Structure 1
Amino acid sequence: MKTFVYEYLAASVKNEESGGRMRWYPWHSADYRYNHILNVVNLAETIAEREGADIDVARVAALFHDIAKLDADQEVHAEEGARVAREYLESHGEFPESFVDQVCKAVEDHSYQGDLSRLSKEAQSLIEADMLDKVGANGTALMLLRMGYEARTHMAAAEMVDRVLERGKDASSRVQSETAQDIAHRRLKRVKWFREWLEEEVPEMDAEPSGSPRGGRH
C-alpha cells in the first residue's frame, strides 16, 4: 500500500504540466506529502490504540487520506482520496466490505470542520493526527524553511514560530481525545521553549519587520 501511495503522489506531480499544484513550495511535493502521510499514520495508530478505535481502519485511512492532495482541488481532495482508496482496496486482496466502507468514510470525513464527536473514532483519530503533525518540531521546521522561499531573513524566525503556536492552540481547542490533547500539550510546550530560546539568544529577534526595535526593548 505504501508503495502505491507514493507512486500515485509522484505520478500526480509528474503528470501536471505546471509541475504539480503549488510544487514551488517543497511541502507540496510528492516527497513532503508522503512524509506527512507517514507521520499521520504513526499518530493515528497511537491515538486509535489508546482511544479504543480500530487500529487497522485508522492506519489504512491515514495512509490514503492525502493521496489526492496533489491532483485534486483542496475542497474535494478528501472525497477523491476516498474514491482512490476504495478502488485500491476492492482490487487488492480480500478486504471485508465493512472494512473498506469504514476506511473510505474516514478518508472522506478527514476534512470535516465540525464537532469531532459526531464522527467515528477512526475518523476522529485521523483528523486529530492530521492536525497534530502541523504543530511541534515538524511544523516549526517547515515554517522556518518557508522563510527562505519567501526571501525572508532568519530574523523572522520568531514570527514564523508564533504561527506554529497559533496553529497548535487551534488544534488543542479542537481535538477531543485525551491522547491527542496530551500530544498537543507536549508539542506546544516544546515550541514555546524554542520561541523563548530565540528571544533569549537573539535580542533583536522580536523586532518589528522594519528592523526598528519595539518600545521597551532598549
Structure 2
Amino acid sequence: MPRRTDGLSQELIVKTATGLLDDGGEAALTFRALTTSLRTGYGAIYHHVANKSDLLAAATDEVIAGVTTGVVAGTEPREALRTVALRLFDAIDAHPWVGAQLAREPWRPALLEIYESIGSRLDALGVPEDAIFDAAGALVNYVLGVAGQNAANARLATTDRSDFLAGVAAQWTRLDPAKYPFVHKAATQLRAHDDRAQFLAGVDIFLAGIATLG
C-alpha cells in the first residue's frame, strides 16, 4: 500500500484510533495498526502522540468533549443534567473503552469536564455548598457506573437483546419466590424494560434526592 502524501494531523490520528478502539477494543489499538490504517510510518505518528496511553487519553477527551459541549445555553439546570447524563450513557455505549479510560486516569481533562458539567448545574439548582461535592460525586459515579455496565453487558450478550432478557427473566422466575419475592415481581418488567429509560429514571431519583438538600 502506498504511503500517504498529504499531511498527518493529531486530529486524524485520534479519529483513526477511535475507529480501531470501537471495532476491537483496546487490544486493537496498536501503532502497527495505526501505521497501516494511516498509510504512514511510526515516526510520523510519534511526532504527534508519545505512546498508546496518550492516544487513549486524547481519544477519550475527544468523545467526552462532544458530550459536555453543545447543551443549549439557558436550558433549565435539571433538564440539562438529564441531557448530559443521557449523552454520556449513549457515548459510552457507542465507545465502551471510554469508561475504562476514565476510571484509569481520573485526572485527565475528560473526567474534569464531566464533573464541571454536572457540578456547575447542581450549583445552579441551589445545592448547598457543603453538600455539592458529595452530590456531584454520587451522580457522576452513578452515571459512569451504569453506562459502563450497560456497555459491557451489550458486548457480552451472544444473542438478541430481547432473547437475552427473556432468558434471564426465565431464570429469575424459577427461583424460590419465598426467598426472592422482589426478583419474581421484577422478572416481568425485565423482559421488556428499556435500558436508557431505566437509566434516566435512576438519574431522576438522584435528582429528587439532591433536591431535598436545598
TM range, smaller chain:
0.3 to 0.5
Higher radius of gyration, 1 or 2: 2
